[in-house]
Structure 1
Amino acid sequence: MDKRERLVVEHVPKGLLIGGRWQPAASAAEFEVEDPSLATPLCAVPDAGAEDGLAALAAAGEAQPGWAAVPPRERGDILRRAYEELIRRQDELALLMTLEMGKPVAESRGEVGYAAEFFRWFSEEAVRIDGGWQTAPDGGGRIWTMREPVGPALLITPWNFPMAMGTRKIGPAVAAGCTMVVKPAHQTPLSMLALAGILQEAGLPDGVLNVVTTTRPAEVCEPLLRDGRIRKLSFTGSTAVGRRLLARSADQVLRTSMELGGNAPFIVCADADLDKAVSGAVTAKMRNIGEACTAANRLYVHASLAEEFTGRLAERLAALPVGRGTEPGIQVGPLIDAAARRKVADLVDDARRGGARAVLGGEPVDDLPGYFYPPTVLADVPPDGRLLREEIFGPVAPVVTFESDDEAIALANNTVHGLVSYVFTESLRGALRYAESLEAGMIGLNKGLVSTPAAPFGGIKHSGLGREGGRLGIEEFLETKYVALDA
């Protein structure tokens, strides 16, 4: 690390945040946070155990009644101040994110801005929580409905968007009046610790937000899920882990939000604008180095366009510089760790054994330290290739041809996942058919990026439950109470 990088890391609180105090783990255990571009440690943070998780829950439970009584405007003002501080410190926070996660600084800067927008959005939603009042149909009384915070929430965030996935959960919880225990991914805890410090500075009361960093998530989280004080679980991560958490949430009948894995199809119709389609594919595939649940995982291209599309996509991806994300001009950083790189390489090797042809890339980068894998474009991908069934989570674009819209829709829907689908067509009739036929919670129509704080984010089937962001985002943290009045 150079001097500026060292200062940015040193500026982050290195403790568990419990009841407003930064403290070590009860066991005094720590773990190292790694720079994936160099495969070297950045710093150490506390490695929490079950005792620490329960202490965080106790703090959240104690703070809940008082926090629920805070006026909505005050809750919104705290989020607004935090939004402004995130924007003010955007460059510093972007560098921190790049150091622990690997994405290029320019992309990290974009994520900090995106993360901040969730605080701005939910600062405005806090004062729009409403209820209802009506005369009973038979005239014999009144129907009064009110909205109340669901209560203490356990928020589990992933490593790929370490700040935005935090604000997308914390923002509506704060706005609704819920206290929280946050468990960030062990690969990228620093962004969350920095965010927690900013919320403290913005005036968030002690105990409302508690943060536990750990390499033992099951040991920390499972006692919380069994404890009746937690009333809400919000998780972003893999479908496999999501299933286990849903099962463990059943005993206490917890409210759950699950943003799980994806297997996004990217469909290029015969009448598509090829310039738009190629640009959209670069965005949908390469955002966050391909380490995104919304990443285009399967590229279905009409046979009449496939050769030209594949060549142009390979040309665009070949021009993206690969290297450490802190260096000027770099557009493709490392994958998060050795296991991630090994998985991507295995998926590509499996496809090539089945007959796939590497138009670009296809081999790990050996001349750089860290966990790099180059942008890769595959043609002639076998229909039974694992990378068409599994989430790649890397910069690999497998291209498959189709002959008709019916075939494309069937191929796209042939998955247990249903997070997002992308379609490029110049036909209004075709666009409407695809939008209505594709089994996904979100559709990118002639657009390779769907995420925005103002829209409901989430999937169907094995891609999850509930929605984050938009007007629906705060609903996940509110209960409805009905009062029958004899009036």
Structure 2
Amino acid sequence: MAPEHADLHDPETDPLATYVLEPDDVRPLLARVVASPGHATASAVAPFTGSPVAAVPLTAPGDLPDAARRARAAQRLWAARPVAERAAVLLRVHDLLLERQSDVLDLLQVETGKARAHAWEELGDVANAARYYGLRARRMLAPRSVRGLFGPFTSARVLRHPVGVVGIVTPWNYPLSLGLGDPLPALVAGNAVLLRADPQTALTLLWGAELLEDAGLPPDLLQVLVGGPDVGMALLEHVDHAGFTGSTASGRVFAGRAGELGVPVTLELGGKNAMYVADDVDVEAAAEGAVRACFGSAGQLCASIERIYVHEDVRDAFVAALVRRTAALRLGAGLDYRADMGSLVGPAQLARVVEHVEDALGHGATLLTGGEQRPDLGPYFFEPTLLADVPPTARAHREETFGPVVSVYPVASDDEAVAAMNDSELGLVAAVWTRSTARGTALAARTRAGAVVVNDTHHLLWGSVGVPIGGVGASGFGRRHGREGLWETTWTQGVVAQRGVHSGRGFGMRELHELGPDVWPRVLTRLLRAERTLRLP
């Protein structure tokens, strides 16, 4: 029988038992939605309770042309400002976010059902990114000098310009981290943003839009659209670049339409992320790291680990430590830090998790711990679950569960582990645990994933904002974070000038051609050979 998880449910004292968002509390936020009069509404359900949160206006595709027009007008003025002024807004976002964290943490928990510690991870991520780009964007966007054809006689520079209007489609699972964090580099680069929010977590994004204006962002530069796939697809007709985070299936449809319209896109899609535990590890440290990597936000994040490959020499000790730590996780609902894991977001996600577990067990998998729904805690709670002996015929073997379900497999060597980790069309994040950093980084380089963490979890990766992250294969393309994430929403312009031509001191292509049609090829041939000898780039 699976060990019983800690129970934090107390209907007598649980603040969520009677927690209601009053209309006056959310009316100013709802007024920010781009929606025409007589709009339809959608009522998100609080995962902790199953009760409606608020009726959110829905954007219609017909609302987009006017929103885009206003965004373009605002963007032209914004792009004309010095980068330092735009960056100062991000630094104020950092400060305001930390000052007002209690309000948005409550909102995040009510809309997503995640534990408060996992909600804080979103807040910390955005503050970290705001500081990073606020301090570094000026240098990253500065004109760059490169070597021209004739060395000191040729001036060559690379300029970066904002693309214009950026469309960002965000999912429900990380509304602050993605809904506020993703627009920051686009905005500091000089763009306007049309941000499509999922109705389930729209209030958090609207709160973020309000925070941006309080930090000094001009009106209309960031506008929030609320809706489903129809709005996301329609958005492509009005933007110059689009970012999409979601499932691989939906991302392919989105990218296909973007290709028809000639709109460049950045996609972060699904992940069936793997971890390798080598034979030299401290099993307790590795097990603790695995728990954090697997069950954050109840496993509802693209970077969550769902496959663990353990060297057979430490398998028994590691699995014992992992089961013990997983079974000890505290499940619960509440606007405090008592719970280690919260709820799934809703009935569809719960049904997928249940189906994957039942299918795996039906195909002969072994249940190590968990595997049960917990309606006593809330309508969508499911225990963190560990499976062994999951056969290739089971859905959980290859498909992304997007929930608190992890499969554990033994391997006999590093080579077998790398082959198993790479045996997936998805390649988003991976992890390697070993006492040897050199061994870990060598294994990471052989792993087919957009980012690999050695001896830690995706939290270390995500927090290292200078490191670009993103997928390979069916996990998407393009990058967020780092200078690459900032450059995604810019276009480059090369400017080459010949010095001294009108003063008679210059030397360039015109002078070469004047030497005669049979002379300049020989001169250039000697020049190219000399530069190769001197190893000039």
Q: TM-score, normalised by structure 1?
A: 0.93
Distance 2:433 2:415 in 1: 15
Greater Cα offset, 397-406 or 108-117: 108-117
Structure 1: 5+ residue stretches without partners: none
Higher Cα radius of gyration = 2
Distance 2:421 2:329 in 1: 28
1:169 aligned residue: 182
3-state secondary structure, aligned to 1:293 = coil
Match for residue 359 of structure 1 among 357, 365, 368: 368
The code of the aligned residue for 1:390 comes to E
Structure 2: 5+ residue stretches without partners: 1-15, 500-537
Greater Cα offset, 4-13 or 139-148: 4-13
Matched, 1:480 2:489: no
1:64·1:179 contact (CA, 8 Å) conserved in 2? yes
Q: 1:399, CA displacement in angstroms?
A: 0.8
Greater Cα offset, 266-275 or 446-455: 446-455
Distance 2:84 2:29 in 1: 31
Distance 1:154 1:471 in 2: 19
Aligned residues: 479
2:532 aligned residue: none
Q: Deviations 1:393-433 (Å, cap 9, x if unpaired)?
A: 11112111111221111110000111111111123453243
1:6 aligned residue: 21
The code of the aligned residue for 1:172 comes to P
1:47·1:213 contact (CA, 8 Å) conserved in 2? yes
Distance 1:237 1:194 in 2: 22
3-state secondary structure, aligned to 2:175 = coil
1:221 aligned residue: 232
2:480 aligned residue: 468
Moved over 6 A (4+): none
1:98 aligned residue: 109
1:110 aligned residue: 121
Distance 2:165 2:37 in 1: 22
RMSD: 2.0
3-state secondary structure, aligned to 1:164 = coil
Q: 1:109, CA displacement in angstroms?
A: 2.2
3-state secondary structure, aligned to 2:199 = coil
Match for residue 132 of structure 1 among 132, 144, 148: 144
Q: 1:252 to 1:318 in 2, by over 3 A?
A: same
Matched, 1:243 2:258: no
1:123 aligned residue: 134
Q: 1:378 to 1:174 in 2, by over 3 A?
A: same
1:14·1:46 contact (CA, 8 Å) conserved in 2? no
Matched, 1:378 2:387: yes
Matched, 1:151 2:164: yes
1:30 aligned residue: 41
Q: 1:132, CA displacement in angstroms?
A: 2.6
Match for residue 15 of structure 1 among 30, 33, 58: 30
2:246·2:269 contact (CA, 8 Å) conserved in 1? yes
Q: 1:384, CA displacement in angstroms?
A: 2.9
Distance 2:24 2:299 in 1: 26
Within a 5 Å distance, the mapping from 1:391-470 to structure 2 comes to 391-449=400-458, 450-452=461-463, 453-470=465-482
Distance 1:327 1:313 in 2: 25
3-state secondary structure, aligned to 1:120 = helix
Match for residue 197 of structure 1 among 201, 210, 217: 210
Distance 1:429 1:469 in 2: 25
The code of the aligned residue for 1:262 comes to G
Distance 1:89 1:101 in 2: 19
Q: 1:446, CA displacement in angstroms?
A: 0.9
Q: 1:4, CA displacement in angstroms?
A: 7.3
2:7 aligned residue: none
2:312 aligned residue: 303
1:315 aligned residue: 324
Distance 1:399 1:316 in 2: 15
2:303 aligned residue: 294
1:48·1:213 contact (CA, 8 Å) conserved in 2? yes
Q: 1:125, CA displacement in angstroms?
A: 2.7
2:17·2:49 contact (CA, 8 Å) conserved in 1? no
Distance 2:373 2:349 in 1: 12
Q: Deviations 1:366-398 (Å, cap 9, x if unpaired)?
A: 323321111111122223321121111111121
Q: Deviations 1:66-97 (Å, cap 9, x if unpaired)?
A: 11101111111111112111110111111110
Q: 1:133, CA displacement in angstroms?
A: 3.4
Greater Cα offset, 61-70 or 37-46: 61-70
2:34·2:225 contact (CA, 8 Å) conserved in 1? no
1:56·1:212 contact (CA, 8 Å) conserved in 2? no
Distance 2:370 2:296 in 1: 18
Greater Cα offset, 62-71 or 277-286: 62-71
2:109·2:115 contact (CA, 8 Å) conserved in 1? yes
3-state secondary structure, aligned to 1:426 = coil
The code of the aligned residue for 1:468 comes to R
Q: 1:223 to 1:359 in 2, by over 3 A?
A: closer
Distance 1:8 1:137 in 2: 65
1:75·1:126 contact (CA, 8 Å) conserved in 2? no
Q: 1:205 to 1:241 in 2, by over 3 A?
A: same
The code of the aligned residue for 2:210 comes to G
2:40·2:58 contact (CA, 8 Å) conserved in 1? yes
1:15·1:24 contact (CA, 8 Å) conserved in 2? no
Distance 2:17 2:379 in 1: 17
Q: TM-score, normalised by structure 2?
A: 0.85
Distance 1:11 1:184 in 2: 16
Q: 1:205, CA displacement in angstroms?
A: 1.0
Match for residue 221 of structure 2 among 208, 213, 232: 208
The code of the aligned residue for 2:219 comes to D
Distance 1:342 1:135 in 2: 59
Q: 1:285, CA displacement in angstroms?
A: 0.3
3-state secondary structure, aligned to 2:180 = helix
Distance 1:321 1:142 in 2: 63
Q: 1:334 to 1:8 in 2, by over 3 A?
A: farther
The code of the aligned residue for 1:236 comes to T
Matched, 1:43 2:50: no
The code of the aligned residue for 2:215 comes to A
